[in-house]
Amino acid sequence: MSATFTDIEESKNGVGTKGDQTTWTAARNATSGSAISYTSLNNRSSAIATDRQSEKGTVYFGVRRTFFFFDLSSIPSGNTITGIELKVKGYGGGTAGNGDVRVAKSTAFGTNGSSFFATTDFDNWSPSSPTPYASNVSSWSYVSRNNITLNATAISDADTNRYLNLVLVDNEYDYPDTAPTSNFTNNNGITFRSSTSSEKNIVTVEHSAPPTQQWEGTINGQTIKVQYKINGVDVGDIVEINGTDGLA
C-alpha cells in the first residue's frame, strides 16, 4: 500500500498560564489559569514556560502551557493513519528557546474540539499521570519550525478519534512535576496563526488506504465477510484459502 501525506493546520489553540504562586504545587497543579486563544498572527516568546523568581524575600512560581487541536476528519475513514509529525513554528524575539519541551495528550477544547479554550483547560492533560505523545525536544528553534515525531500512542488516538488534542509543556520541571530549587526561567516561543504556509502550525499525517482487493468465502465451515487481510496478509497476495478462491 502506498502512503499519502496530508498537512493539516491547527483548528484551535490556547495558552494557559498560572503565575505568581508562592508554592510550586499551587502553580503546577492549579485547576485553572488564565486562558487566551489566537485567531490571527501573534508571536509569543514564552508560549511554553516555567519560572521561579524571588522578590523581597518571597519566592514565586509560574507555569505556561500551549494547547493545540487538529481536526483530522478530512482524512478518509477507510485510511489508516500510520505516522504523524507535529510542526510548530518557534519564536523568540531574537532569543533562542531553552528547549526541553514535551508533547502530551490533552483533553482541552471539550476533548473533541466542541468547546473553545477555557480557564479550566489549564489542568486538562492529566498532570498527575500524563500520557506522552513524543520524546523530549531538547532544543527549540526560534526562527523555524520545530519538527516533532509523535509516538504510537498519538498515532493510535488520531486514527481512532480522527482528531489530535495535545499540549506542549516544559519537560524539565512541569512534565515530571519537579519543583525547582533555585531561580530560573525556561522560555520557548511560538508563532500562532501565521499566514505564511511554511510557518503555520501543522501536523503532517501519513496515511494509507486499504487494499483494493477483497476476500469473502468460507474457511473451515465458517462464513467470512469481506476482508482485506487474512492472518495479516493482503488478500491480493493470496491465491486461495483451503482451496477456495474468494477474491473480489
CB 45 within 8 A of CB 67: no
Enter the C-alpha cell of residue 35: 486562558
State residue 247's pLDDT score: 47
Report pTM.
Answer: 0.85
Secondary structure in 3-state letters for 107-170: CCCCCCCCCCCCHHHHHCCCCCCCCECCCCECCCCCCCEEEEECCHHHHHHHHHHCEEEEEEEE
pLDDT by 10s per residue, the chain, length 248 = 578 999 999 999 999 999 999 999 999 999 999 999 999 999 999 999 999 999 989 999 999 999 999 999 999 988 999 999 999 999 998 888 999 999 999 999 999 999 999 999 999 999 999 999 999 999 999 999 999 999 999 999 999 999 999 999 999 999 999 999 999 999 999 999 999 999 999 999 999 987 665 556 666 665 655 444 555 555 455 556 566 555 44
Single out the residue of 245, 242, 213 nearest to residue 229, CA to CA. 213
Q: What pLDDT is recorded for position 126? A: 96
Owner of C-alpha cell 479554550: 117
Rounded to the nearest angstrom, the gap between the alpha carbon of residue 188 and the centroid of all alpha carbons in its chain is: 16
Alpha carbons within 13 angstroms on the beta-carbon side of residue 88 total: 33
Cell of 143: 526562527
SS3 of 187, please?
strand
By DSSP bridging, strand 184-192 and strand 42-55 are antiparallel
Q: Which of 76, 49, 53 is nearest to 63 (CA)?
A: 49
Q: How many angstroms separate the CA atoms of 182 and 163, rounded? A: 39
- Say if CB 170 and CB 50 are below 8 A apart: yes
Would you give the end-to-end CA distance of the chain in angstroms?
Answer: 18
pLDDT score for 238 = 55
The pLDDT score that the predictor gives to residue 48 is 98
The answer to whether 131 and 100 are in contact (CB under 8 A) is no
